[in-house]
Amino acid sequence: MSQALERSEGCWAWVVLLASVVTQGLTLGFPTCIGIFFTELQREFQASNSETSWFPSILTAMLHAGGPLCSILVGRFGCRATMMLGGVLASLGMVAGSFCRTLGQLYLTAGFITGLGMCFSFQSSITVLGLYFTRWQVLANALASAGVSLGITLWPLLSRYLLEDLGWRGTFLIFGGVLLHCCVCGAVVRPVPASVTPEAREGLPSPSKRPSRGCPAACGRAIRRHLAFDVLRDNVGYRVYTLGVVWMILGFPLPHVFLVPYAIRHGMDEQKAALLISVIGFSNIFLRPMAGLVAGRREFAGHRKYLFSLAALLNGLTNLVCVASADFRVLVGYCLAYSVSMSGIGALLFQVLMDIVPMDRFSSALGLFTVLESISILISPPLAGLLLDTTNDFSYVFYMSSFFLISAALFMGGSFCVLGKKERQGPWAEAKGAVPEAALEQGLAAEDMDGPEKRLRVEIMYVTSV
């Protein structure tokens, strides 16, 4: 047995799991509290809704788009150093943001730099769980995903409390200190044997032993490794799913940004308005791990893409509740219903991707997928803000969110039904030019020979979910 497996599930592995839970809460749970500051930032900088919306969109987009760069850093320096670097960047961005005098400066500091630092920390914390856990990876990642829900619950409450006493500048300064705890979490991640580093898992030689073929060839290999454009070209299912999700994301993050300003606009107390986001987070503490475990069951293997489409459809329909009434009790019910569909989307988002793409190309397909996803995350809130500036009516924001979610769900569900019929009628590879059978057999062989490696990539899905 290898040295890594001998250390798996040891006492220190559970300490690393605790560090991962905290890191997930500090990073992935953070963007949901930005809506608390939306009105204050708008008043401070005398900005429109569209201009103010660029701040949360840049932060969240960088949180996802930095994945390929984070993979390179983890392969070169390891998870510990990358997590601590992310904590430092996230902290510096928030501290610098507290001194900003223009929105452009805020975009660069608390948006770009903090988002990139959070990406380094949370993706490293995901990767390291695959090195410390083998038998209990499902449980470990389900517990780690609960950290996201804890962050969604606590960040808005802390934000509201600090905002009342310190203002947004003092609150951002405090947040800079809180995010330094990512460095503490990274410090407890002890280095793993070189034989099981992510680079070794990919079957690549160490950087010093790789043949030098010039800069263009090296760039080509890096792009192929981290961004699977060939899979996008050849795999019809991947194209359909990527297009559907990119379209869906144009509407999915909008309630997190605009729900609190919407409630305040309709006369709701600011404390109650902030509590709405915490309701979503608290319910997800229980729903997200359950959805992740249920999605991993074998009996759902052939139907996950349809379940994902159904979750997106329900999420779009629930957003129409906000248009009907802004009463506190109605919005609490909306938050609970929204949490159910949100947990389904989060649990299935990357699970469906793994079902569609062969495992030997999953890592690179995931890199391209998250980069394209981040583009939608970047433009969605400003687009909704522009709509709000034009109409001065929050109802259109939720109509917009429902439109993108419902249309994406119908597109994906219908397309997968058509592809399923063609698959039953004839060979999938010949009909649509998807991955050849030999490649599929190679992926299955890699699954048999590299079980821990496969589990590493599969389990990343449950924690990086939205």
Contact 401, 323 (CB under 8 A): no
Structure token digits, residue 206:
């160490």
d(CA 306, CA 413): 6
Is the pLDDT at 349 greater than 90, yes or no?
A: no
> What is the predicted pLDDT for the residue at 216?
65
**Same CATH fold assignment for domains 11-190 and 228-438:** yes
Alpha helices in 426-450 (DSSP H): 428-432, 437-449
Neighbours of 360 (CB within 10 A): 21
- Give the residue ranges of DSSP H helices in 325-427: 328-356, 362-391, 395-425
Cβ neighbours of residue 124 closer than 8 Å, sequence gap 6 or more: 70, 74, 79, 80, 82, 83, 86, 186, 189
What integer is the mean pLDDT of 155-165?
Answer: 89
Q: Report the distance separating Cα 119 and Cα 182, nearest Å.
A: 11
pTM exceeds cut of 0.85: no
Q: Are 29 and 147 in contact (CB under 8 A)?
A: yes
Write out the H or E segment, with its range, that includes residue 38: helix 38-45
pLDDT band for 223, please (50, 70, 90 cuts).
low
Fold (topology level) of 228-438: Growth Hormone; Chain: A; (1.20.1250)
> Which of the two residues, 314 and 362, has the higher pLDDT score?
314
End-to-end CA distance of the chain: 36
How sure is the predictor about 174, in pLDDT bands with cuts at 50, 70 and 90? very high
Q: Which amino acid is at 452?
A: P
C-alpha Rg value of the chain to the nearest Å:
22
Q: The tokens of 120 are what? A: 């380094």
Render pLDDT for 5-19 as a digit per residue (tens, 0 to 9).
Answer: 335 556 788 888 899
Average pLDDT, the chain: 79
* CB burial readout 143-159, b (16+ within 10 A) else e: bbbbbbbbbbbbbbbbb
Confidence of residue 260 (pLDDT cuts 50, 70, 90): confident
DSSP state for residue 188 in the 8-state scheme = T
| Domain spans, the chain | 11-190, 228-438
Nearest to 401 by CA among 342, 292, 318: 318
Nearest to 180 by CA among 84, 82, 56: 84
Say which residue the tokens 């929050």 belong to. Answer: 394
**pLDDT reported for residue 419:** 86
Contact by Cβ (8 Å): 368, 239: no
Q: In this structure, are residues 129 and 137 in contact, taking their beta carbons and an 8 Å threshold?
A: yes
Report residue 359's pLDDT band, with 50, 70 and 90 as the boundaries.
low
Contacts of 219 (CB under 8 A, 6+ apart): none
In this structure, are residues 316 and 342 in contact, taking their beta carbons and an 8 Å threshold?
Answer: no
Tens digits of residue pLDDT in 96-126: 999 999 999 999 999 999 999 999 998 888 7
User: What pLDDT sits at residue 445?
Assistant: 44
Cβ atoms of 273 and 328 within 8 Å: the answer is no
Contact assessment for residue 290 and residue 439, using Cβ atoms and an 8 Å cutoff: no
pLDDT at res. 455: 41
Name every residue whose Cβ is closer than 8 Å to that of residue 320 and which is 6 or more positions away in sequence: 398, 399, 402
11-190: CATH class: mainly alpha
For residue range 416-436, what is the model confidence (pLDDT) as tens digits? 899 888 877 765 444 444 444
C-alpha 162/C-alpha 230 separation (Å) is 49
* 203: three-class secondary structure by DSSP: coil
Distances (CA, A) of 356 to 304, 387, 439: 10, 35, 13
Per-residue confidence at 214, pLDDT binned at 50, 70, 90? low
d(CA 94, CA 55): 12
Q: Return the DSSP state at 113.
A: I
Name residues whose C-beta falls within 8 Å of residue 328's C-beta, 6 or more positions apart in sequence.
Answer: 263, 268, 272
Selection from 171, 230, 127, 196 nearest residue 36 by Cα: 171
